[in-house]
Each structure stands twice: as structure tokens, then as C-alpha cells.
Amino acid sequence: MLWAVLSGIALLIILALGFYAGKLLFMLKQQKERQEAARQSRVATITDSIIVIAKAMEQQQCDLSEGVIRIVNLLNALPINSPPDFKAQYPQVHALFTEVSGFAILEARQQLPKNERRKQ
């Protein structure tokens, strides 16, 4: 009789722990799916930004140097699992980036005197 009661209690504990483990696994799966969706959304946003900057550069609405700085930084920020070697794919872009990466951009560029801006 005592063994039956203890066996029943042990079975209830095992079932409760199994249910709890299943619940935790389900929650983990949901969390991973949300993280993947957020990552995909970020990749899409960054890709759209790169396209907009490239079009602005093509239409001369944005300086090449500033556009290259922004594009290279966005390419480096892409949250993809195995990123391609953008430096090898776009050597001219990276060469210009290395040359102008120390230049001031946005408000800092506007605050520079005109002769310094032209120099850059």
C-alpha cells in the first residue's frame, strides 16, 4: 500500500516535471522564432537603406564619400550568419572607404570651415 502511494506521488512528480520541461521547450521555440523574425526584419531594413543610399549617390543627391562610409558601415552591421567577404566583392568601395573613413560626416561636416570641407 505504501509503495503504491509513493509510486503514485513519484509518477505525478515525473509527469509535472515533464509538462514543465515541455512548456519551457515550447517557450524557447517561440523565442527563437521571434528572434529570427526580428533578424530578418533588420536585414530587410538595412538592405533597403543600402539601396536608398546607392540611389542617392547615383542621382548625386549624396556625396560619394559619405555614401560609401554609410554603405560600408551598413554592410558590416548586417546580422547574417555567414556574411560574404564584402571587401573582396567590392574592392573599390572599400578602397574609397579606407581613404575617407576619417572624414567628418553629417553635422560635424557642416560645422567645418568651407576650405576644410573642400580639402576633405
Vertex 82 angle, CA 57 and 32, to 5°: 105
Residue 110 has, within 13 A of its CA and on its CB side, a CA count of 2
Task: Give me the mean pLDDT over the 97-106 stretch.
Answer: 74
d(CA 60, CA 77): 25
Write the CA distances from 4 to 9, 58, 96, integer angstroms.
Answer: 9, 80, 79
Residue 105 CA to residue 100 CA, distance in Å, equals 10
Query: In the predicted model, is pLDDT for residue 109 greater than 80?
Result: no
Burial 12-42 (b: 16+ CB within 10 A, else e): eeeeeeeeeeeeeeeeeeeeeeeeeeeeeee
**Position 31 in a domain:** no
Residue 109: CB atoms within 10 Å: 15
Domain that holds residue 50: 36-119
Evaluate if residue 105 carries a pLDDT over 70: no
Q: Which residue has the higher pLDDT, 50 or 90?
A: 50
Is 5 contained in some domain? no
User: Between these two residues, 100 and 23, which has the higher pLDDT value?
Assistant: 23
Number of structural domains (the chain) is 1
Is residue 61 a part of any domain in this protein? yes
Q: Is residue 1 part of a domain?
A: no
Q: Are 101 and 120 in contact (CB under 8 A)?
A: no
User: From CA 62, how far away is CA 106, in angstroms rounded?
Assistant: 11
